[in-house]
Amino acid sequence: MQAAEILTDEQYGKIINRLAHQIVEPYDDVASLALVGMQRRGVFLAKMLQERIHHFYNHKLPLGVLDVTFYRDDFRTKLKMPTVQVTEIPFDLTEKHVVLVDDVLYTGRTIRAAMDALMSFGRPASIKACCLIDRGHRELPIQADYTGMFVPTYQNEEIQVEVAGLDGINRVMVIQKESAET
Amino acid sequence: MSTDYEFNHRHLLGLADYSAQDIQYVLSQADRFLEILNRPVPKIPTLRDKTIVNLFYENSTRTRLSFELAQKRMGADVVNFSSSSSSVSKGESLKDTIRNIESMKIDMVVVRHSSPGTAHFVARTVNAAILNAGDGAHEHPTQALLDMFTMRQKFGKVAGLKVVIIGDIAHSRVVRSNIIGLRKLGAEVIICGPKTLMPPSPDELGVTVSHDLEACLEWCDVAMALRIQMERQGQGLFPSLREYHERFGIKKRHLKEFPNFTIMHPGPVNRGVELESEVADSERSIILNQVTNGLAVRMAALYLLSGGQRI
């Protein structure tokens, strides 16, 4: 197994700064926005974006937490039912421009599930998707509106996003899993 | 909870088969389902690929409603079977009935029957996931889970709680499951009622017997009153409902005399027998929370037993 660091703490911080600006840019009224982080690391990324946007625009966006297990189409491909994490949307998202925040955009199935899940909380004015890493290999017609970094990958590679709040450091690794080597 | 824990059950037949960790895990997942029930659209598609039959050989209103609503909230296809309006009245055996139902590609079966062991029998006979909704005086695991969930919600945890269960202990499956579960989670349990309604060997269950209601109310955090089944009257187990109420009914004055206990009841309440009306409706009563939580707990159980891969 080989691991390579593709984002250091410093580059990571710059990307979060850029995404914070990009998220706010299209809207006249920053107060019409809301952030929803996807369990688990997307939640930490959303918190970082919330803090940065507060810093730049002096407005603290409402922040929700979403677990999409119940809406997934693929949980029965595993042997055990996955443990469900907390969902908490502590604001009315009707008429809000909601930005979904996730660490890695891969097949697109998580974002699809998240859109379904959000609809059961009300009718947002719009939903946009923000991811730190887009690694390709989409299986659904879904793209992110805001992307931190495009990282073309092979299927046998794994993107490991680390967040300070959970892993002690902000960085991104590409891990090459064991393949048939000769 | 340790991170390498895995929930490893195919059925929910009784809490006797579940470890303390299993019970804690089901309760912690039920928290997630309670959140869903409070959403503007309280519905998830998680069981939309599942067909569930509710097989009720015994009358039930709230358990059947609660199961059915839990199943519908999760998008399952639901068929209901009650013995009064079916071919059972034409003499079909249980085994034939469930084999036939299985042939219709059913994924899960919720079963209630007056004979202990029916759920186990069904689990051995068919290939579906089985949830026991009450088998005779044996077990009623989802009721006990929702009771423990409600205590945990109110007190933060079940371990260390002092619980007195009052009434017809000997004939109650609710009590059996509750005692098993509460003991596993570390609660202390006293059972209280007339001698004729006590089980033959309480020591084996790990509980103490008392016949002094007021001493129990002084001692406990939770007083769980059980329904006196009207059909027991006239079997000579207690003289009359009025006399039962005099000795073992929780009355309004008890609320003042013992300011700390919380009231629970699995329902339906006989007002003026187990509880005076004012007691059932007082703010110390969490009976209606039990009903709401029943939905969340049943959703969690259905979710966890709905399988990963089909075998």
Of A80, A84, A87, the CB nearest to B308: A80
Q: Which residues contact A117 (CB under 8 A, 6 or more apart)?
A: A66, A68, A70, A71, A87
Distance CA B250, CA B247 (A): 9
Q: Regarding the domain delimited by B141-287, which CATH topology (the fold level of the hierarchy) does it fall under? A: Rossmann fold (3.40.50)
Q: Which CATH class is domain B15-139+292-305?
A: alpha beta
- Tokens 């891990």 correspond to A175
Nearest-CA residue of chain A relative to B8? A80
User: A36 and A101 in contact (C-beta within 8 Å)?
Assistant: yes
Examine domains B15-139+292-305 and B141-287 and report if their fold is the same. yes
Which residue in chain B has the smallest CA separation from A78? B308
Q: Kindly determine whether residue B308 and residue A87, on different chains, have CB atoms separated by under 8 Å.
A: no
pLDDT at site A22:
98
Q: Calculate helix-pair angle for B20-37, B141-155, nearest 10 degrees.
A: 70
Element (H, E) at A16: helix A9-24
- Long-range residue pairs from B63-69, CB within 8 A, at least 24 positions apart, any chain: B63/B112, B63/B133, B63/B134, B63/B140, B63/B142, B63/B143, B63/B294, B64/B112, B64/B133, B66/B291, B66/B294, B66/B295, B66/B298, B67/B110, B67/B131, B67/B133, B67/B142, B67/B298, B69/B295
Note the pLDDT of residue B195.
93
CB-closest option in A76, A116, A120 to B309: A76
**Strand partners for B131:** B12, B110
Contact of A171 with A9, CB cutoff 8 Å:
yes
> Residue B223, Cα to own-chain centre: how many angstroms?
16
Q: Do B32 and A80 touch (CB under 8 A)?
A: no
Backbone angles phi, psi at B283, to 5 degrees: -75, -10
Q: Which of A71, A81, A86 minimises the CB distance to B303?
A: A81
Domains of chain B, by residue range, sit at 15-139+292-305, 141-287
- Reference A13, options A150, A163, A174; nearest CA is A163
Would an 8 Å CB–CB cutoff place B2 in contact with chain A? no
The answer, for B304 touching chain A at a CB cutoff of 8 Å, is yes
User: Is the CB of B309 less than 8 angstroms away from the CB of A78?
Assistant: yes
Count interface pairs A-B at CB distance under 8 A: 55
Report CB contact under 8 Å: A122, B306. Answer: no
Closest CA to B168 of B133, B134, B196, B208: B196
- Report the pLDDT value the prediction gives residue A179, as an integer from 0 to 100: 62
For residue A40, give both structure tokens.
């688990």
The pLDDT, as a whole number, for residue B311 is: 39
Nearest to B298 by CA among B307, B309, B290, B308: B290
Is-contact B168 B193, C-beta < 8 A?
Answer: yes
Residue found by looking up tokens 């000579």 in the block: B236
What 8-state DSSP symbol labels residue B8?
Answer: -
Could you give the CA distance from residue B161 to residue B190 in angstroms, rounded to a whole number? 11
Phi, psi of B164 (to 5 degrees): -110, 130
User: Which of A39, A76, A93 is the mutation pick for testing B, counting most B CBs within 10 A?
Assistant: A76
Structure tokens that stand for A165 in this block: 């709040």
Residue A171, amino acid: R
Residues of chain A with pLDDT below 70 are 77-79, 179-182
Q: Does B96 touch chain A (CB under 8 A)?
A: no
Does residue A90 belong to the interface with chain B, where contact is any CB pair within 8 Å?
A: no
Average pLDDT along chain B, 311 residues, taken 10 residues at a time: 81 97 97 94 93 92 94 96 71 86 91 95 94 96 98 97 96 95 97 93 91 97 93 79 94 97 95 96 96 97 80 39
**CB contact set of A141 (below 8 Å; sequence gap of 6+):** A108
Report the distance separating Cα A168 and Cα B6, nearest Å. Answer: 27
A81:B308 CB<8 A: yes
The domain ranges of chain A are 11-154
B39 closest CB neighbour out of A67, A80, A120:
A120
Task: Output the six-digit token pair for B14.
Answer: 């009784």
Task: Could you please state the CATH topology (level 3) that the domain comprising A11-154 is classified under.
Answer: Rossmann fold (3.40.50)
Q: From the CA of B35, how many Å to the nearest CA of chain A?
A: 8
Handedness of CA B256, B262, B265, B268 (dihedral sign): positive
What's residue B141's pLDDT?
Answer: 98
Q: What amino acid is encoded at B291 in this protein?
A: V
Peptide bond into A40 cis (omega under 30): yes
Distance CA A49, CA A30 (A): 13
Does the interface predicted TM-score (ipTM) exceed 0.95? no
B206 in contact with A, Cβ within 8 Å: no
Among B48, B130, B305, CA closest to A70: B48
In the structure encoding, which two tokens stand for residue A126, read together?
């719009």
Q: How many CB atoms lie within 10 A of CB B1?
A: 9
Dihedral sign for Cα atoms in the order A66, A72, A78, A80: positive
SS3 (DSSP) at A121: coil
**Rounded Cα gap, residues B230 and B234, in angstroms:** 9
Position B201 scores a pLDDT of 86
- DSSP for residue B234: T
